[in-house]
Every structure is written in C-alpha cells, then in structure tokens.
C-alpha cells in the first residue's frame, strides 16, 4: 500500500451514515436462518439422543415406554454386555469378535486400495500411455455397476482363486470396488497440481517412483485423508460383501450387529442393541471427527484449482 495517508479533518465529513454498516442482531432473516438450522440439527440429533439414553437405561426403565426421558438410573451394563457377551447366533462372545474382524478387514483394505489407487491416479494424470483414456473410462464405468450384479461372478472367481471365505478374499473385493472412485479422486488431484513441477522433476532426472514418492506424496496429504475417510467408512460400514465373502469366522462388525439385533430368541434387549449399534458406528465417526477438516480441504482441492 502507499505510505501517503489521507488526513481529512473530521469535521469535513457530512452528517450522514459513516463507517461500518450496523447489523441488527435479531433481524427476521437471522431468526429464520437459525430456526431452520436448529430444526435440522434436532432432526438429526434426536435419534442419536434416543440411542444414547436407551443404551444407558436398564430394561425395566425401558419398558416404561418413555423413550425420550433421560435415564434415571445410569448403567453401563448394556455396553459391557454388547461388547463382551451378547449372543450372535450360536456364540455369546459379544460384538468384540466382529470389531476385531472389521479391524482385520479394514486396515489392510484401506492401505492396499489407497496405495494402488494413488499410483493409478498418478500414472493416469502424468504418464499418459496409449489407451490410458480408454483404461480410465472403463475404470470409471465400474463405479456405475450395481454391486449386486457382480456378487455371483465374484463368488465364482474367488472360489476358483481359492480365497473365498478368507480375509484375503474380502480385502481383495474391497480393493477392487474402491478402485474406480479412489482412482478418479487421485487422478483429479494430481492433474490439478502444476504440470511444470512434474516437468521440472523430469529435467532434474527423477523417474516415475522418485517423482511420486519425493515430490507428489508430500504435497498430497489432503487427498490421502479423503481417500482414508472414504475407505474406512466404506469398508467398516459394509455389510453385503462382508456377509458374502468374508466367511463366518471373519464376519465384520456390521454382520455381527445384525445377528445381535435380529436375534429371534429371548427378550429384545433394546439397551444392548443400542449400545452395540453405537459401538459399531464409533469408528467411522472417530475418523471423521479427527480428520474432517482435512477431508473438506481435500475435496475442495480437487474441485477448485489454485
């Protein structure tokens, strides 16, 4: 800015409005805005509230029927039961078995799919080869095929490979189905990075992996977080593939939860069901809360350049 300051004498200002425009605190538009926001928030939070209070009540209290009432006698028994000893079918070991199964599926699934998709996206964005456009189109086409159509062929495929009903099988399935959207994500992110950076690195003698690992990776944290969140929530929340491909010894948490909640024998233990459901949903929620800001940044970086 210029260092010449305008020094107008105060009295030279006329009587009219001056300075910042005043804002009314309770303007009708403000009230409208906040009411809509509050109602929307309540609409989404109410079921969560019901779940939390129900999970903290004992069964006698629940039977009184007032689902919105806060718990009179707070008990963590349902949570312990849900985790440790709720019955899923024949076994009564709680949902912890499913939790560890889900961890065993999610961790390798997320790592493998992101590792492959990021290299895919990098290659498609920067190392165009003959037919790369067609390859990308076919890959994207995969994103639009309903999963259910592919279930049976995949079952046969995995059976022939000898990995049906194994951890390897389910991880492979998640990797395949994550590939279209993840590759698109990474490709767009890398394509938005300045191409001159890539050229400079090539002039500097860096090859395919050097450019990827030393130049691109350190610049790509936001998009990796996006991929991480998408895959963690996607794989953790998956039910269909888990029930079909994992095999009963590897059933993920969602399948176990279903078995607890839909048990037909005995009394419905609503508090245990609520606790088990909350436990199942905790992991994606945790991941989102920890890295949500980066998530938004990564999504935005792909959409808007600069």
Residue 160 in the binding site for another protein (CB under 8 A): no
Q: How far is the CB of 193 from another protein (least distance, A)?
A: 10
Determine the 3-state secondary structure of 24 from DSSP: coil
Instruction: Identify which range of 116-124, 193-201, 243-251, 285-293 contacts another protein by CB under 8 A.
Output: 193-201
**Contact set for another protein, span 218-277 (CB under 8 A):** 218-219
CA-CA distance, 126 to 102, in Å (whole number)?
Answer: 35
Residue closer to another protein by CB (options 17, 218) is 218
Candidates 165, 210, 233, 237; binder of another protein (CB under 8 A) is 210
Residue 196 in the binding site for another protein (CB under 8 A): yes
Residue 84 in the binding site for another protein (CB under 8 A): no
As a dihedral over the C-alpha atoms of residue 7, residue 11, residue 13, residue 17, rounded to 10 degrees, the angle is: 120
Triad 303, 108, 212: Cα angle to 5°: 50
DSSP string, 183-251: HHHHHHHHHHS-HHHHHHHHHTT--HHHIIIIIIGGG-HHHHHHHHHHHHHHHHH--HHHHHHS-GGG-
Which residues have CB under 8 Å from 226's CB, separation 6+? 185, 294, 295, 298, 299, 302
Query: What radius of gyration, in Å, describes the C-alpha atoms of the chain?
Result: 27
Nearest to 207 by CA among 91, 123, 111: 123
Instruction: Identify which range of 45-53, 198-206, 227-235, 268-276 contacts another protein by CB under 8 A.
Output: 198-206
Candidates 91, 138, 204, 282; binder of another protein (CB under 8 A) is 204
CA-CA distance, 108 to 174, in Å (whole number)?
Answer: 10
Q: Sort 102 into a burial class: Cβ within 10 Å, 0-12 / 13-18 / 19+.
A: buried
Residue closer to another protein by CB (options 29, 137) is 137
Q: How far is the CB of 135 from another protein (least distance, A)?
A: 18
Residue closer to another protein by CB (options 80, 197) is 197
Residue 201 in the binding site for another protein (CB under 8 A): yes
Q: How far is the CB of 182 from another protein (least distance, A)?
A: 23
Q: How far is the CB of 301 from another protein (least distance, A)?
A: 14
Candidates 20, 203, 267, 303; binder of another protein (CB under 8 A) is 203
Q: How far is the CB of 161 from another protein (least distance, A)?
A: 39
Candidates 194, 248, 286, 296; binder of another protein (CB under 8 A) is 194
Size of the site for another protein (CB under 8 A): 16
**Joined tokens for residue 49:** 């509230």
Residue closer to another protein by CB (options 162, 218) is 218
Give first-to-last CA distance, the chain, whole Å: 25
Q: How far is the CB of 203 from another protein (least distance, A)?
A: 5
Triad 195, 199, 201: Cα angle to 5°: 115
Candidates 202, 263, 284, 294; binder of another protein (CB under 8 A) is 202
Residue closer to another protein by CB (options 73, 196) is 196
CA-CA distance, 74 to 84, in Å (whole number)?
Answer: 19
Which residues contact another protein (rule: CB under 8 A)?
A: 194, 196-197, 199-206, 210, 214-215, 218-219
């Amino acid at each position: 800015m210029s260092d010449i300051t305008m020094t107008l004498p105060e009295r030279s200002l006329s009587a009219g409005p001056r300075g910042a425009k005043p804002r009314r605190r309770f303007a009708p538009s403000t009230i409208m805005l906040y009411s809509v926001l509050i109602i929307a928030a309540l609409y989404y939070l109410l079921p969560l509230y019901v779940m939390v209070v129900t999970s903290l009540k004992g069964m006698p209290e629940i039977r009184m029927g007032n689902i919105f009432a806060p718990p009179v006698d707070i008990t963590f028994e349902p949570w312990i039961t849900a985790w440790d000893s709720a019955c899923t079918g024949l076994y009564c070991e709680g949902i912890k078995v499913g939790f560890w199964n889900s961890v065993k599926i999610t961790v390798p699934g997320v790592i493998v799919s992101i590792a492959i998709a990021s290299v895919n996206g990098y290659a498609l964005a920067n190392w165009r080869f003959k037919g790369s456009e067609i390859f990308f189109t076919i890959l994207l086409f995969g994103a639009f095929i309903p999963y259910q159509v592919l279930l049976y062929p995949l079952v046969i495929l995995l059976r022939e490979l000898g990995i049906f009903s194994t951890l390897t099988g389910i991880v492979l399935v998640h990797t395949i189905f994550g590939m279209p959207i993840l590759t698109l994500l990474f490709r767009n992110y890398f394509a938005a990075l300045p191409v001159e950076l890539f050229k400079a690195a090539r002039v500097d003698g860096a090859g395919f992996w050097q450019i990827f690992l030393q130049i691109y990776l350190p610049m790509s944290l936001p998009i990796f977080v996006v991929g991480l969140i998408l895959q963690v929530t996607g794989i953790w929340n998956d039910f269909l593939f888990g029930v079909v491909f994992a095999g009963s010894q590897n059933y993920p948490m969602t399948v176990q939860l279903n078995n607890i909640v839909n048990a037909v024998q005995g009394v419905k233990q609503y508090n245990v069901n609520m606790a088990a459901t909350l436990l199942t949903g905790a992991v994606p929620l945790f991941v989102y809360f920890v890295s949500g800001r980066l998530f938004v940044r990564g999504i935005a970086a792909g959409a808007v350049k600069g």
